[in-house]
A and B are shown apart, each in its own frame.
Chain A
Amino acid sequence: MDLSLGLFGNAIVSGLLLGGFYAAVTIGISISFGMLDIANIAHPAFIVLGSYGAWYANSRFGVDPLIASVVLMPAFYLLGAGIYQLYYHAFERRGDASLRGLAFFFGLLFITEVGLILVFGVDYRLVRAPYIGPSLYLGALEFPLRLLVPFLASLAMVGLLWLYLSRSFTGRAILAVAQDAEALRILGADPVRIKRIAFALSIATTSLAGAILIVIQPVEPSIGRDYIGRVFAIAVLGGLGSFAGTVVAAILLGIMESLTATFYGPSWSPAIAFGFLLLALAVKPSGMFGR
């Protein structure tokens, strides 16, 4: 096979797999920002917390990081429920959620970061797992398992969440709650409870997303900041609240970044990717899959 064609193919593959990671880190934002109108800018900080959870279980007890993160999910769910309850009583109930709410989540971001630094220090941490290192080959195409396994885990999580939201009564109420909370109430669903469940779910996803992050790259406490812009951009590009849109946008961004990094150098990739995002939003402001 031609050398540059091989390069191209492998750039597409690793971009696709990277997109799976982006989908995992964005899906929670797709719920909190896309469905609940809560601009949780601390989301990436919770992802890093998820990384440390997986790292701790892995380095201390030798548990697989992805499995550890699934076991830890209920704890993240409870954390999310608690945060929402606080947010609701302090801001949302009084109707001044937008700007002060942003300050609240900014505060959470700092607290989480500083907390992690105090407990674990600023060193980079990494995990061990049998799929970190080897690759599958399909002709000239290389599928590194450290990207492929997280990709599959991410799609499984997004798929299960989507099933829950579209098939269950609570899930459908989550899809409706931002459109008209009082209308939900007169159908017998308490909108505050519905939002709490939804927000808690969005934080539960950070457990697995964090494990995926630390499988893919070493993690230090403030690394989440690198992703704040990207996760919101992907959520908006996909069409707020649309899971299919989020996955497609995540994969597009992954491929775009990977191609740019391969052919022009890694330092260009954020600029090109964001340029594309802005262009796409100028053409279709509601995002690709926005209703």
Chain B
Amino acid sequence: MASSLTLSGVTAGYGAVHVLEDVSIAVPAGATVALLGTNGNGKSTLMKCVMGLVRPSAGSIVAEIDGVRHELVGRSTEAIVALGIGFVPEGRRLFPKLTVTENLMLGAFRAAARPEIARNLDFCFETFPRLRERAGQLAGSMSGGEQQMVALARALMSAPRILLIDEPSVGLAPVLVRRTIDKIRELKDSRQLTVLMAEQNFTQAIRIADQGYVIVHGRIAFEGASAEALNNNELIRKFYLGM
């Protein structure tokens, strides 16, 4: 069954620093939504709000999972993960001194993911054959591209219904960015995920996005209902792509 995510009027910041101002975003069931914006505009902060790592001062964040609505604001991160919301954080945040397999096993910490652990591990190794070859290697000694694979695979191990990915392209060579983005689409289809992806790489992100939001200084500056609409938007061409 389908799962969706809706943010309404979310305002958040860090102490006296205001970062998000009245942000509303809808991630419909089964869609891939791109959150576009350059450095420091609040993409990561928005994802942290969803994950319960930053608490909004106003607004609501509702996840509808298998037909049940859950208000996320006020819940602990552990409780939000337990609902089936997975997160690939900025900078990947692997455990450098644990092996690839140990990292992946930790992805299955949430109770609902444990019974399917063998199947999910198999799936991850099939999706990223390189990880099977490197199963015993310490995550910290892997290349940037391999680490991104581990981070994606680790999030999949939690058997999420909704997946948040913060800047998957960061630090990767152009060819790897392309491959990673393709992989995300492939995973979304095979695992029937609902995806919210933050990206600075506009051209790559809209290849797989069904819809997109452009965030500027913590406000939604443009909402594109399709990749087409985003591509043809004057505002984006002018301010975001600098054309």
- List residues of chain B with CB within 8 A of the CB of A190: 76, 78
- List residues of chain B with CB within 8 A of the CB of A175: 95, 98, 102
Q: Which of A169, A179, A180 is in CB contact (< 8 Å) with B109?
A: A169
Q: Tell me whether A173 and B138 are in contact in the complex, defined as CB-CB below 8 angstroms, given that A179-B98, A188-B158 are known contacts.
A: no
Contact across chains for B106 and A187 when beta carbons are under 8 A apart: yes
Convert A174-218 into 0s and 1s, putting 1 for each residue whose CB lies closer than 8 angstroms to a CB of B: 011001101111111110000000000000000000000000000
Closest chain A residue to B154, Cβ basis: A187
Q: Tell me whether A187 and B96 are in contact in the complex, defined as CB-CB below 8 angstroms, given that A172-B102, A173-B106, A291-B138 are known contacts.
A: no
- List residues of chain B with CB within 8 A of the CB of A180: 93-95
> Is B105 close to A, CB under 8 A?
yes
Interface residues on B, range: 20 to 34
Q: Which of B51, B82, B97, B114 is in CB contact (< 8 Å) with A169?
A: B114
Convert A253-291 into 0s and 1s, putting 1 for each residue whose CB lies closer than 8 angstroms to a CB of B: 000000000000000000000000000000000000001
Q: Tell me whether A183 and B109 are in contact in the complex, defined as CB-CB below 8 angstroms, given that A176-B98, A188-B78, A189-B78 are known contacts.
A: no
Q: Which of A179, A185, A186, A188 is in CB contact (< 8 Å) with B95?
A: A179
Interface residues of B in 103-145 (CB under 8 A from A): 105-110, 114, 138
Contact across chains for B89 and A188 when beta carbons are under 8 A apart: no
Contact across chains for A183 and B89 when beta carbons are under 8 A apart: yes
Q: Tell me whether A187 and B107 are in contact in the complex, defined as CB-CB below 8 angstroms, given that A175-B102, A182-B53 are known contacts.
A: yes
Contact across chains for B114 and A186 when beta carbons are under 8 A apart: no
Closest chain A residue to B101, Cβ basis: A172
- List residues of chain B with CB within 8 A of the CB of A179: 95-98
Interface residues on A, range: 10 to 19
- List residues of chain B with CB within 8 A of the CB of A169: 105-106, 108-109, 114
For the complex formed, measure the closest distance between the CB of A183 and the CB atoms of chain B, giving whole angstroms: 4
Contact across chains for A187 and B138 when beta carbons are under 8 A apart: no
- List residues of chain A with CB within 8 A of the CB of B77: 185-186, 188
Contact across chains for B106 and A186 when beta carbons are under 8 A apart: no
Q: Tell me whether A172 and B53 are in contact in the complex, defined as CB-CB below 8 angstroms, given that A180-B93, A186-B89 are known contacts.
A: no
Q: Tell me whether A186 and B102 are in contact in the complex, defined as CB-CB below 8 angstroms, given that A169-B109, A173-B109, A291-B97 are known contacts.
A: no
- List residues of chain B with CB within 8 A of the CB of A176: 95, 98, 102, 106
- List residues of chain A with CB within 8 A of the CB of B93: 180, 182-183, 186
Closest chain A residue to B92, Cβ basis: A183
Contact across chains for A188 and B102 when beta carbons are under 8 A apart: no
> Is B213 close to A, CB under 8 A?
no
> Is B202 close to A, CB under 8 A?
no
Closest chain B residue to A190, Cβ basis: B78
Contact across chains for A188 and B94 when beta carbons are under 8 A apart: no
Separation of A219 and B94 alpha carbons in the complex (Å): 45
- Of the candidates B93, B102, B110, B138, the one having the most CB atoms from chain A within 10 angstroms of its own CB is B93
- List residues of chain B with CB within 8 A of the CB of A184: 106
Separation of A188 and B105 alpha carbons in the complex (Å): 12
Q: Tell me whether A186 and B105 are in contact in the complex, defined as CB-CB below 8 angstroms, given that A169-B114, A179-B97 are known contacts.
A: no
Separation of A179 and B53 alpha carbons in the complex (Å): 18
Convert B154-181 into 0s and 1s, putting 1 for each residue whose CB lies closer than 8 angstroms to a CB of A: 1000100000000000000000000000
Separation of A85 and B53 alpha carbons in the complex (Å): 22
Q: List 21 A-B contacts (CB under 8 A).
A: A169-B109, A172-B106, A173-B106, A175-B98, A176-B98, A179-B98, A180-B95, A182-B53, A184-B106, A185-B77, A186-B81, A186-B87, A187-B81, A187-B106, A187-B109, A187-B110, A188-B109, A188-B110, A188-B158, A189-B106, A190-B76
Please provide the 7 A-B residue pairs with the shortest distance between their CB atoms, ordered closest to farther: A188-B81, A183-B93, A188-B110, A176-B95, A179-B95, A291-B97, A188-B109
12 more contacts with CB within 8 A, not counting A186-B93, A188-B82, are A172-B98, A172-B105, A176-B98, A176-B102, A180-B94, A182-B93, A185-B78, A186-B87, A187-B106, A188-B77, A188-B110, A291-B97
